[in-house]
Amino acid sequence: MTLIRKVVFPVAGLGTRMLPATKVLPKEMLPVVDKPIIQYAVEEAAAAGCETFIFVTGRGKTIIEDHFDRAVELFEALAAKGKDDVLGGLSSDVPKPGTVIATRQQEARGLGHAVWCARQLIGDEPFGVMLVDDLIHAETPCMAQMARAHAETGGNLVAVMEVPQEHTARYGIVDPGREDGPLVEVKGLVEKPAPEAAPSRYAVIGRYILDSAVFGHLDRHEVGAGGEIQLTDAMEKLIGSQPFFGYRFAGRRFDCGDKLGYLEAIVATALARPDLGADFAAVLDQYR
């Protein structure tokens, strides 16, 4: 596996689709069963070999950093009560000291701008970007699948999945070239095309391994669709000068930034849990 030592988690968005739940609580902290969404993403990054977790946060998001800290009073109370199993689980969830870095995106100017805010922390090496909203169930975690593929391709690799034609306007869509197993050559990227204008049904979802050359394009702060600085626009400029592939990952993705997707993620995650699945299935049966 190539080492993707650093992963950026852009978490400065406003989360308007999940209001009013996200008025005070960052959407990344909404629980899926008993873990905040962001914890699934951090665990996935760790499984891919990530050593430095970079959160690009915004105002009102400091509890994300708190979540990955030791909760001293709680830990002491659990120890005093002899709840060692709970304490053990919580302690192992806390990343090693010095591996979590937070920086601020002072204004929510778009995903491209959020990634650019991490440029000094990345330097000159390939890095991952994970959109926490995208929760992925997979036997081998999606970022680990991608890190393995990236060891072969180098350059840039984005996770893609086929979406229904009528949904292309919700995603960045790949103009595909040659296909080789899970790899799809990317000849172009189109942000949110209408179904009739979409070059394929391959949608880019929230997992990327990028060459640091992308910062050279993000530096220009070009404003794109929706008046935001788009990551897609900067990635597009790398096509042709560097390898650029889509990766059809094995697994199932849930969009937790959307109400229905979030509910589905909770149901699927609970059903897949050995400690809850059977009982929860019985509960669900009552609603059929």
Give the residue from 112, 218, 119, 203 showing the smallest Cα distance to 158. Answer: 203
b/e for 6-20, b at 16 or more Cβ within 10 A? bbbbbbbbebebbee
Nearer of residues 78 and 122 to ligand UTP, judged by Cβ: 122
Nearer of residues 105 and 232 to ligand UTP, judged by Cβ: 105
> In angstroms, what is the minimal distance from the CB of 219 to ligand UTP?
17
159 near ligand UTP, judged by CB under 6 A:
no
On the CB side of 43, how many CA atoms lie within 13 Å of its CA? 14
Say how many residues touch ligand UTP, by CB under 6 A: 20
> In angstroms, what is the minimal distance from the CB of 276 to ligand UTP?
27
How many angstroms separate the CA atoms of 194 and 205, rounded?
Answer: 17
Nearer of residues 56 and 147 to ligand UTP, judged by Cβ: 56
> In angstroms, what is the minimal distance from the CB of 121 to ligand UTP?
15
Alpha helices for the chain (secondary structure H): 37-47, 62-67, 72-80, 84-93, 111-116, 119-122, 142-153, 214-218, 231-236, 259-272, 277-285
How many angstroms separate the CA atoms of 197 and 137, rounded?
Answer: 31
Nearer of residues 155 and 206 to ligand UTP, judged by Cβ: 206
8, 11, 32, 235: which one contacts ligand UTP (CB under 6 A)? 11
How many angstroms separate the CA atoms of 192 and 204, rounded?
Answer: 10
The contact mask relative to ligand UTP for 129-148 (x = CB under 6 A, - = no) is --xxx---------------
110, 126, 128, 155: which one contacts ligand UTP (CB under 6 A)? 110
54 near ligand UTP, judged by CB under 6 A:
no
Nearer of residues 128 and 176 to ligand UTP, judged by Cβ: 128
> In angstroms, what is the minimal distance from the CB of 11 to ligand UTP?
5
Residues 6+ apart with CB under 8 A from 122: 6, 8, 54, 212, 215
114 near ligand UTP, judged by CB under 6 A:
yes
How many angstroms separate the CA atoms of 172 and 232, rounded?
Answer: 7
Pairing of strands 134-137, 244-248: unpaired
In this chain, which stretch among 13-21, 79-87, 90-98, 192-200 interacts with ligand UTP, using CB under 6 A? 13-21
How many angstroms separate the CA atoms of 86 and 23, rounded?
Answer: 30
- Structure-token match 């992963």, residue found: 7
186-215: contacts with ligand UTP (CB under 6 A): none
229-258: contacts with ligand UTP (CB under 6 A): 257
29, 45, 100, 111: which one contacts ligand UTP (CB under 6 A)? 111
In 3-state terms, what secondary structure has residue 138? coil
How many angstroms separate the CA atoms of 281 and 279, rounded?
Answer: 5
Nearer of residues 41 and 183 to ligand UTP, judged by Cβ: 41
63, 102, 108, 276: which one contacts ligand UTP (CB under 6 A)? 108
23 near ligand UTP, judged by CB under 6 A:
no
Provide the binding-site residues for ligand UTP, judged by CB under 6 A: 10-17, 56, 105, 108-111, 113-114, 131-133, 257
